[in-house]
């Protein structure tokens, strides 16, 4: 009886390990972290949930964007996005073209949205566009 119970517990433990491994491998946040470490572009968003902020990484910088729902001529869409860098110290080396690329990627997903950057990126973009 004890041996059967021990085998059953061992099987349950092995199934739990396999389940945990699959859950870890297919976690979207893990893909974001991997892209962040490798300084690649990755966009993590729950498009169905407007209240949930999106995360994106580009050239080793992690950005967070806050979405706001509004009306367009025919429907309710995300009409405004505020975006900022999680760590402003990591912005070193980024250029105006890099921020334009990030804006283009956001516009692909939210074509009706007006994108506003928070400080200090906002000041940089205003200075560069005035020249």
Q: What is the spatial distance between Cα 94 and Cα 58, in angstroms, rounded to a whole number? A: 10
Q: Does the structure show a pLDDT above 80 at 52?
A: yes
pTM attached to this predicted model: 0.78
Q: What is the spatial distance between Cα 131 and Cα 123, in angstroms, rounded to a whole number? A: 13
Contact 32, 52 (CB under 8 A): no
> pLDDT digit string (tens) for 7-38?
999 999 999 999 998 888 888 888 889 899 99
In the predicted model, what is the mean pLDDT of residues 76-88?
Answer: 90
Q: Which residue has the tokens 């209240």?
A: 51
Radius of gyration of the chain (CA): 21
In the predicted model, what is the mean pLDDT of residues 94-114?
Answer: 91
């Amino acid at each position: 009886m004890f041996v059967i119970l021990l085998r059953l517990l061992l099987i349950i433990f092995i199934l739990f390990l396999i389940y945990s491994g699959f859950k870890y491998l297919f976690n979207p946040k893990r893909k974001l972290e991997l892209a962040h470490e490798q300084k690649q572009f990755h966009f993590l968003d729950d498009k169905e949930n407007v209240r949930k902020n999106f995360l994106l990484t580009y050239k080793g910088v992690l950005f967070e964007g806050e979405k706001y729902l509004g009306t367009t001529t025919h429907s309710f869409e995300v009409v405004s996005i505020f975006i900022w860098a999680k760590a402003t110290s990591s912005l070193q080396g980024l250029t105006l073209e890099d921020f334009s690329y990030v804006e283009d990627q956001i516009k692909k997903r939210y074509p009706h949205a007006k994108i506003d950057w928070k400080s200090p990126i906002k000041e940089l973009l205003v200075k560069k566009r005035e020249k």
